[in-house]
Structure 1
Amino acid sequence: MSFDPTQAPVVFGEALFDCFPDGSEVLGGAPFNVAWHLAAFGAAPVFVSRVGEDPLGARIEAAMQRLGMTTVGLQRDPAHSTGTVQVKLEGGEPSYDIVAGSAYDFIDAGALPTPPTGGLLYHGTLALRNADSAAALGRLRADTNAVFLDVNLRPPWWSLEQVQTLLSAARWAKLNTDELALLAPNGDSPESQAEALMQRHALERVYATLGAAGAFALTADGTLERISPGTGIEVVDAVGAGDGFAAVLILGLLRGWTLGDTLERAQTFASAIVARRGATIDDPDFYAGFLDLWSVA
């Protein structure tokens, strides 16, 4: 089955709210953030998730409609609440309780939209902690081998065996250096770890983010591309930078950009995200500026 970049990408996983001690609630979830960015860039993703029949679920649906996103893949659950992460501050340091038994843990395989054959399918790992959602992803994966795995490991909600199985079903994978070290511990550098991971799971491409050191991408034919962040970047909020990076990597696959251009554009966009408050930007002009710069509008 060949990859058809003309098909609308499918983004599968959690939409949730980070709930802070001051009562503020911030919409997020890595797959939701990726879908949001792709939609703002005009890629028309189908976001597949499940939210409660509650006010938070209504807010997610309204946000998607405001951006012009289709809600055909957004399921409503009368029995389980919209996902939340309870953020606590202890000694000035945040800790996170990713609430279990949330609506996105129960994505119904029988209520999925018909996926496009050969289209790109993005997913992470958190939404697969429950058998219902894992089965739903399996149904979507049956229609494509163009799977982009964003390895977002959130203890205790992952297992080595499950992630290795997901990697073997993926075509492209994105990880950070900590995740590389966990999944390919025998390498003596992130590059050698990425190579070992690629060979073990027959991946076509591995993207690795290196924090302040930038990122690199390694392909199955041995091509290695690196990117370093620019100087003078103001970091206001680092939450969601990796999701912005992933969204532009996917856009590069859909648009057929070179690997070097894709990495450079992903790094530029992620740098702009960290200079703003919040993981998603509710401003069409923000995205239009990048589309003009990249000449893909």
Structure 2
Amino acid sequence: MQQRDKTVVVCGEALVEETGGEQVAGGAPFNVARHLAAFMVPQLMITRIGSDLNGALVRGEFERFAMTEAGLQFDQLEETGRAVLERSPGGVRLTVLPNQAYDYIDEDEALAALSAEEPCAFYFGTLAQRSARTRTTLEALLQACVAPRFLDLNLRESAIDERIVFRSLHLADIVKVNEAELQMLFKWYFQIEPSAPPLPPDEVRAACRALVDMFSLQALIVTLGHRGSVYFGEDDEVIANRDNPAPPFVIDTAGAGDAFAAIFLLGLVREWPLETTLARANEFAGAICAIPGAVPRDLGFYDKWMARWRAA
């Protein structure tokens, strides 16, 4: 009889993104949880929504992906999280509204949900930590959970707080950043300005190694978009994953980082070799760029990936 996978705990925002009159459930942690659920990984999504139409939309996604609602909290006062996407000739701007339900995730409810699980990993980000209440709840959960802690910085221009990032890095075991976020870390901790000439590759590697040591990390993962990713391990292991099939076309890069994080966690659950996990995470993230939105609307999208990885 096949052993049941252990649970991946995901804590943070579930919200509704509004663009051009369309409303779509989103939020980086929620995207990760939905991907994991689609791959049949037990997950506990700890978040909070309002008693409103947007909350019903989010809850509908829990049902569509057959996700447990054990970690889903309901707020009678605050609205479900909202983010407004505005497109202009100058680019795309996402405004995340303040004082939303996920800013008030209750500690007692969250700990009760966690106590019923046997986690093998804990995913968290930084956006939901903008409020003191959710930040306190998250730290209590991390204290109560002995599983590896995966931090996805996912920094947004309107919600960058170096103090929260610093604390989060100290709480994490594995950290994923993109190139822009890595530049922010270089600026804060090594006084290397993003506008400065690019560092030589050996100096970039040395700085990444220094971050691993500074925050006592098991690993730092830097995603490079279509160029792959680089993994810096605590034992000086460096894995550069470059040879990934490029998507035939790119429709939308939103959610690519969330897809990468989800497959990395899937590899952790299924105990894939690290090189295999990184290659699959890069390829799946590229495939997400070839569809509209951060999460497939057709759950059949996952079938070919499950079949391919099962056969490999």
TM-score normalised according to structure 1 size: 0.93
Structure 1: distance between partners of 2:284 and 2:119: 27
In structure 2, relative to structure 1, the CA distance for the partners of 1:225 and 1:193 (3 Å cut) is: same
Per the TM alignment, residue 118 of structure 1 is displaced from its structure 2 partner at its CA by: 5.4
1:161 aligned partner:
163
In structure 2, relative to structure 1, the CA distance for the partners of 1:251 and 1:53 (3 Å cut) is: same
Per the TM alignment, residue 78 of structure 1 is displaced from its structure 2 partner at its CA by: 1.1
CA contact (8 A) 2:246 2:286 kept: no
Structure 1 residue identity aligned to 2:262: A
Deviation larger for 277-286 or 240-249: 277-286
Per the TM alignment, residue 91 of structure 1 is displaced from its structure 2 partner at its CA by: 2.9
Where 1:114 maps in the other structure, the secondary structure is helix
Consecutive unaligned residues of structure 2, counting only runs of 5 or more, are 193-198
Where 2:136 maps in the other structure, the secondary structure is helix
CA contact (8 A) 1:50 1:106 kept: yes
Per the TM alignment, residue 223 of structure 1 is displaced from its structure 2 partner at its CA by: 1.3
Structure 2: distance between partners of 1:243 and 1:255: 18
1:93 aligned partner:
91
1:183 aligned partner:
185
* Residue of 281, 284, 289 corresponding to 2:299: 284
* Residue of 260, 263, 275 corresponding to 1:245: 260
TM-score normalised according to structure 2 size: 0.88
1:15 aligned partner:
14
Per the TM alignment, residue 178 of structure 1 is displaced from its structure 2 partner at its CA by: 1.2
Where 1:263 maps in the other structure, the secondary structure is helix
1:273 aligned partner:
288
Provide, for residues 20-65 of structure 1, a one-character-per-residue CA deviation record: whole Å limited to 9, x for no partner.
1x21112211000000000001111110101110011011111111
Where 2:226 maps in the other structure, the secondary structure is helix
CA contact (8 A) 2:49 2:74 kept: yes
User: How many residues align structurally?
Assistant: 292
Q: Which runs of 4+ in 1 moved over 6 A?
A: none
CA contact (8 A) 1:180 1:193 kept: no
Structure 1: distance between partners of 2:247 and 2:12: 34
Structure 1 residue identity aligned to 2:241: I
Consecutive unaligned residues of structure 1, counting only runs of 5 or more, are none
RMSD: 1.9
In structure 2, relative to structure 1, the CA distance for the partners of 1:9 and 1:296 (3 Å cut) is: farther
Structure 2 residue identity aligned to 1:264: A
Aligned-residue identity in percent: 35
Within 5 Å, which residues of 2 pair with 1:119-198?
119-145=120-146, 146-185=148-187, 186=190, 188=199, 189=201, 190-198=204-212
1:36 aligned partner:
34
Structure 2 residue identity aligned to 1:213: R
Structure 2: distance between partners of 1:91 and 1:233: 26
Structure 2: distance between partners of 1:296 and 1:153: 36
1:61 aligned partner:
59
CA contact (8 A) 1:119 1:144 kept: no
